[in-house]
Structure 1
Amino acid sequence: MAYKVPSSETPGYSYILRHPDFKDGTCGTKYSEITTLWELFQREVIEFSKKEFLGTRSFDPHTGKFGEYSWITTTDASEIVDNFGSGLDQIYANYAPMVPKATPGQQPLGILSNNRAEWLLAEFAAFRSRRYSVGVGDQLGVDCAEETINHAECAVIVCSMDKIPRMLDRMNTTPGVKVIVSMDKLDCSLPNLFTQAFNSKLTASWRTRAESMGVVLLDMVQVMEMGRAQPTHASPPTPEDVCTITYTSGTTSAQKGVVRTHGSNVAASMSISLPLQAYGATYMSFASLAHCFDRFLIYAMMFEHVRIGMYSGDIANLGDDLKTLRPTVIVNLPWKLNELYGLISSSTIKASGFVGMLSRFAYKQKLKRIAAGNGSKHALWDRLIFNKVAQKFGGRVKMLLTGGGQISSELQTFFSIVLSCESLHGYGQSENFASGTFQLKGNSVKGNAGVPAPGVDLRLRSIPEMEYLVTDAPCPRGEIMLRSKSGLLGYLKEPELTKSVKSGDWVATGDIAQFNADGTISIIDRVKNIIKTGRSFFVAPEFLENCYSKHELVKNIFINGSVKERELVAIVVPNKEKFVPWARGIINDAGNLSYEDMCTNNDVRQALVKELKLHASLNNLMYQEHVCAIYCDPVQFDKNSRGFYTPTFKLRRTAVLNHYKDQFSKLFSEADSNVILTVS
């Protein structure tokens, strides 16, 4: 597995681990001529001329239905980027000449939209003249986009048409914005999902309003026409130039602007491209481009050419997008796979009767093939059982990539079997542009974070106050420290914060890991996400939530504790399909109570606490890790407007704590006597 660098231990620090195929700590010499993302784009254009590159689904505004994918070729993309980049040169010169002090000689281009071809085209057009992209997200709430725009000093914003009204509304609080460029034609002559709610009369009123505020409102076609009329010469970036500023998800604190250079992003992308070897992949892009994970994978696959199909823009339509695009590489997140597992397993390995019996037998046969190193495909059982599942994902998936949280071995293996594909999990952060660790292809051992990516040095640092030590036996434990060319340059305008996480060339991640006996790495905790209870016992809430969420009655769970309180309490969103019949059996209800009434029923809650305690005991949790009081919420965490999830689908713990503040206060007062409080 991972290569252990000889004699690399120092007091308080573990030995250094590296990728087994890149023992010198570099990415080798392949692609050494690529030093910037602009050069990577040019390589795509030249070596894969006229190949399909960026795909968008057609949309009929009259029926509201989506059709097939239409493609922009690499040659088309090059022409668009050149014309739009020339137009941007004139836009900045005429309307936005100011250069932020934090990035001397370079200017930002803010990009605000769902994933679409224009997002990437705008970014490459910015690279053409040494500008850098700033992904602007608005999923976290009203103020999120404003904070990003102001903090990064974005004078020019490229956005989809549906974002323009809100951009104009916030002009008083974003005074630095001088130009708004619509991705969609302002005369609405090319209707799509993002323009269907508007018309040319309305957009004309936007122009008038923008002019009254001293803001220039244009669309991409107009800017490209400016570029064609007065072309400018490209001024390519250097490896040291800023490439993008990505804002962290904000799971435990305010967002931070991570400054990334072209050189560091090329190193990050190359570190996954080399082991992935996804030549000619077709990829579905739906994880927010404003953040790093999706772009990291796109850049990585561009080394070997990639067809990037954008999802339709409606996440509820993702299943149909997959069937239409038929991707060979897909990405998903552990919490979402947990949901899909329930749906898929109920019709296969957990089904009743002959179908269930046959599915379980087929599953065991494929498990044996994987354990023997023969891969996840099986001619007979795929044809009879699992191809039906694979077709829901397009039927051509070769690799399922996951990140953004821990994943169990069972869950990862399940999807490898039902999709007949390679399932690979990795670990990374915005600070290192998602480049940290990745599982080796062909390895049957799952449920870990893999080994360091090529060019990445990884070691652990002891955290004595949490009782994680690099001297722990048999598995060293501690905070992950990373060193690589893809590492953190710094946080925008926050030098002290930068100093707090950097120690020379090493970056402290805040994540706790252990080195496994098989040479892999497992993420086991988070430095900041530790609760000390009134019993002077430390618990890791995310670890416990992962454990409790495996119970079939649980859809979502959030665990809370305090140094002032002896017991743990939780918010539970039940798995409605399993919960309703179970609850009716508890209270002998023949169908009169609604799902919401069942959630507030005291007898049901008491019974659910007993179920969770039993589940905890069966999973070897200590008594101090048992949940002693719960509040049942019938509304799923991701089915509301509460802002519980970041754009990268991580749970924002502060948002959850604030939302349920009153419930937690009441639960703690009852937890010692294990009384479940009914909150009306």
Structure 2
Amino acid sequence: MFRSFVVPSSEVPGFSPIYRHPRYKDGTQNKEFADIKTLYDLFISMVANHPKKEFLGTREFYPETDTFGDFKWISTTDSAEIVDHIGAGLDSIYAQYAPEPNETTGQQPMGIFSINRWEWLLAELAALRSRRYVVGITDIAGVDSSEYVINFADTRVIVCSIDKIPRMLDRMDKTPNLKAIISMDKLDCSKPTVATQAFSAEVTDKLKAQADSLGVVLMDLDQVIQIGKANPTEPTLPSPDDLCNICFTSGTTGAQKGAFLTHKNLIYSAKANYLHYRPKNTTILSYMSRAHIYDRILVYFLMLDIVRVGFFSGDVSRVLDDMQVLRPTFFATVPPVLNRMYDKIASNTIGAKGIKGLLCRMAYKSKEKRITSGRGYKHFLWDRIVFNKVAKLFGGEIELAVCGGTIFASQVQNFMRACLSCDVTQVFGQTETSGTSMCQERQDFSTGTCGVPTPGVDLRLRSIPEMGYNVTDSPCPRGELLIRGDHISKGYYQEPEKTAELMEDGWMVTGDIVTVNTDGTFTIVERIKNAIRSASTVYIEPGPLEVIYSNHHLISQCYVYGSSRIFKLVAIVVPRPETFVPWARNIAKSPKAELIELCESKEVAEALTQELLKLGSEARVPSPAMIGAVHLEPKPLEQVNSQFYSTALKIRRHLVNQHYMPVFDKLCETVDFTTDPKFSEIKSSEKK
């Protein structure tokens, strides 16, 4: 069965035919939810249809013991009242301190600078109530990145958690246009949160004095609400074409770009996802940064029904604990997070020693066979004995999991399907596409695919002959992905040249290499900018290779590098300590050696290189994509440098390359890949 709909007679030279969702063949969304045209409409509609339902949840925090209790909920009706009060309060604040609209957008921006919490979402909705738009701010890539966004987007009013305030005040000379800072946390510290732990009323009094001396208004959200109650205003409703967000890209290929996203863009994207999955009465945990698009579009499309949004306790390492308390029915994640969960769970189940490991491996083998043959996700015996216990780590109620962001390992996808006994699907979207373009369908038991176009989205490929990708390739067309639909960004803030490069003849140019599989699903191969041209003049996609090599039982992370100087790749390898250390001690003949010492061993590095050569051969990796030498890094890459990963948890290859270039240069100089006998043997076997 060919899963996508192919628009008849839509091929033109150099381009594939146009592909659409199989149930929305005319390229529209069938006018469903036609009355919802803005995000504010979406919110008001949900409140009207589901009054007094639990909507936003936060775990109670106990500072004395640094522990968390149950989730406490704000209802839809109460949320609407809070949004009205904050919105009216913001109207007064803007009128007094930042009355002029932005010269470029004609509207007023409002920054939000915080981890995910209920105040983030309600402050956003309050801004939209008066035709303002939101600029999400993060500091994961350092102070300079937050200041860059504040200045670049001309953000004059910021709503933030209290822990962000001291640094902003200390560096006000870097953000001279900032006029007002609104703390999500009470400035008298009367209500403890994770963010207020390092603060007291005495400390915040000094912050107020510092703000006064700098000419910056400092107040908290409760004060804004009181201003709104005392000075009520009617909403100034946004239109579909009004700017809703300036959402900054992950910065994986260079400087961050601020993508314009209108209400029409985001509502179209939300409808596309909802019509594809049609979720009902969903509970989710919000933990992926709301400054980026993934978590936001997730909440938006689930609001087309009713959703309970539980916000995580502030530490990603506690996500599983939060899930066990919340018991979500829908789980959204990205490969780096899921890979860490997989490593931990697999080592205690299918990787365990003795009878336990034997039983878990038997259970997984049986269930994986059942899943891949299309017979469903549940097993009457193995679920009771093994997998229900694992599912309870995630709350035990998950009905659907989606994974997006980067390439997703098939091994991890099938393992999580077995553990959760539900669909675990891959999705694909970009900031510029409002977070959506294609989704794997429910009951699609395959792996390695992002599924089909979402409803109302057109996809096509164009050939890249200089890289060897052509839409005429058989049996699977390959090329650069182009996307069309009302969810596409209007361009980039203050960057007309990059905006001009975004669209061609009504199609968005993604920069992604894609394959159309024989069943009509799509597989993302790699970013064109990430492709490596080796000395053999062959283009190599590092992402899929890193997935293959990272699946080795000795490896936690693998980052590959290549250039036109060498015929094979070199790699930074982060070992998986529980399996690597015993193996490496045997290689080094040093039974008490620790991880750091083993990573410095030349013999261990050479032995691991041979392991990867063997794995590459078994996986039919072409010769230029073989690993010729490795550098062992004892620390995870995110601990080596937090800037290696964006807030969307995508690898910033240019920063990793810059950091490790001396290592790569040394590896390239010490190994002559052109005369490596193993390289010759592999080439000979390929010819046969």
User: Given the two structures, how large is their TM-score scaled by the length of structure 1?
Assistant: 0.97
The reply to whether residue 666 of structure 1 matches residue 666 of structure 2 is yes
Q: Which residue of 2 aligns with 1:253?
A: 254
Structure-1 separation of matches of 2:451 and 2:572: 32
Deviating beyond 6 angstroms after TM superposition, the runs of 4 or more aligned structure 1 residues are 673-676
Q: Which residue of 1 aligns with 2:123?
A: 122
The reply to whether residue 185 of structure 1 matches residue 182 of structure 2 is no
Superposition map of 1:485-634 within 5 A:
485-591=486-592, 593-634=593-634
- How far apart are residue 675 of structure 1 and its match? 12
Q: What letter matches 1:48 in structure 2? A: H
The answer as to whether partners of 1:50 and 1:73 remain within 8 angstroms in 2 is yes
Deviation digits for residues 130-167 of structure 1, max 9, x if unmatched?
00111011111121111111111100000000111111
The reply to whether residue 427 of structure 1 matches residue 424 of structure 2 is no
SS in 2 for 1:608: helix
Superposition map of 1:121-520 within 5 A:
121-371=122-372, 373-520=374-521
Of 6, 9, 22, which residue of structure 2 is paired with 1:7? 9
**Which of 348-357 and 464-473 deviates more?**
348-357
The answer as to whether partners of 1:181 and 1:220 remain within 8 angstroms in 2 is yes
Structure-2 separation of matches of 1:364 and 1:614: 23
Q: Which residue of 1 aligns with 2:47?
A: 45
Q: Which residue of 2 aligns with 1:89?
A: 91
The answer as to whether partners of 2:51 and 2:76 remain within 8 angstroms in 1 is yes
- How far apart are residue 444 of structure 1 and its match? 1.6
Deviation digits for residues 153-189 of structure 1, max 9, x if unmatched?
1000000001111111221111111000000010001
Deviation digits for residues 295-334 of structure 1, max 9, x if unmatched?
1111010001100000001112212111111111111212
Deviation digits for residues 30-85 of structure 1, max 9, x if unmatched?
21110000000001111110000000000011111100000010011001100000
- Structure 1 vs Structure 2 CA RMSD: 1.6
The answer as to whether partners of 1:36 and 1:263 remain within 8 angstroms in 2 is yes
The answer as to whether partners of 2:491 and 2:502 remain within 8 angstroms in 1 is no
- How far apart are residue 381 of structure 1 and its match? 2.1
The reply to whether residue 638 of structure 1 matches residue 632 of structure 2 is no
- How far apart are residue 371 of structure 1 and its match? 4.6
The answer as to whether partners of 1:628 and 1:672 remain within 8 angstroms in 2 is no
Structure-2 separation of matches of 1:542 and 1:380: 37
- How far apart are residue 373 of structure 1 and its match? 4.2
The answer as to whether partners of 1:349 and 1:357 remain within 8 angstroms in 2 is yes
Deviation digits for residues 197-252 of structure 1, max 9, x if unmatched?
10011101111111111100010000110000010110110001001110000001
SS in 2 for 1:273: helix
CA pair 673-235 structure 1, distance change in 2 beyond 3 A: closer
Structure-2 separation of matches of 1:668 and 1:642: 26
The answer as to whether partners of 2:413 and 2:447 remain within 8 angstroms in 1 is yes
- How far apart are residue 365 of structure 1 and its match? 3.8
The answer as to whether partners of 2:388 and 2:420 remain within 8 angstroms in 1 is yes
Structure-1 separation of matches of 2:9 and 2:314: 52
The reply to whether residue 56 of structure 1 matches residue 42 of structure 2 is no
The answer as to whether partners of 1:126 and 1:133 remain within 8 angstroms in 2 is yes
Deviation digits for residues 575-601 of structure 1, max 9, x if unmatched?
11111101111121121x221111011
The answer as to whether partners of 1:100 and 1:107 remain within 8 angstroms in 2 is yes
CA pair 455-540 structure 1, distance change in 2 beyond 3 A: same
Deviation digits for residues 98-132 of structure 1, max 9, x if unmatched?
2211101x111100000000000000000100001
- How far apart are residue 567 of structure 1 and its match? 3.7
Structure-2 separation of matches of 1:367 and 1:610: 29
**Which of 82-91 and 519-528 deviates more?**
519-528
Identify unmatched segments of 5+ residues in structure 1: none
**Which of 12-21 and 600-609 deviates more?**
600-609
Q: Which residue of 2 aligns with 1:28?
A: 30
Structure-1 separation of matches of 2:155 and 2:30: 37
Structure-2 separation of matches of 1:669 and 1:367: 44
- State, as a whole percentage, how many aligned pairs show the same letter: 46
**Which of 631-640 and 490-499 deviates more?**
631-640
**Which of 35-44 and 325-334 deviates more?**
325-334
Structure-2 separation of matches of 1:411 and 1:457: 29
Structure-2 separation of matches of 1:381 and 1:237: 53
Structure-1 separation of matches of 2:591 and 2:565: 42
SS in 2 for 1:487: coil
Structure-2 separation of matches of 1:619 and 1:640: 30
**Which of 480-489 and 331-340 deviates more?**
331-340
The answer as to whether partners of 2:140 and 2:642 remain within 8 angstroms in 1 is no
CA pair 456-661 structure 1, distance change in 2 beyond 3 A: same
Q: What letter matches 2:54 in structure 1? A: E
**Which of 334-343 and 152-161 deviates more?**
334-343
Structure-1 separation of matches of 2:378 and 2:631: 44
- How far apart are residue 640 of structure 1 and its match? 4.1
Structure-2 separation of matches of 1:350 and 1:629: 27
Q: What letter matches 1:101 in structure 2? A: E
The reply to whether residue 653 of structure 1 matches residue 653 of structure 2 is yes
The reply to whether residue 75 of structure 1 matches residue 77 of structure 2 is yes
Structure-1 separation of matches of 2:128 and 2:281: 24
- How far apart are residue 284 of structure 1 and its match? 0.5
The answer as to whether partners of 1:628 and 1:674 remain within 8 angstroms in 2 is no
Structure-1 separation of matches of 2:41 and 2:89: 21
- How far apart are residue 488 of structure 1 and its match? 1.9
SS in 1 for 2:279: coil
Q: What letter matches 1:335 in structure 2? A: P
CA pair 674-577 structure 1, distance change in 2 beyond 3 A: farther
User: Given the two structures, how large is their TM-score scaled by the length of structure 2?
Assistant: 0.96
The answer as to whether partners of 1:567 and 1:671 remain within 8 angstroms in 2 is no
Q: What letter matches 1:40 in structure 2? A: L
Structure-2 separation of matches of 1:650 and 1:99: 34
SS in 2 for 1:405: coil
**Which of 143-152 and 356-365 deviates more?**
356-365
Q: What letter matches 1:595 in structure 2? A: L
Structure-2 separation of matches of 1:535 and 1:447: 27
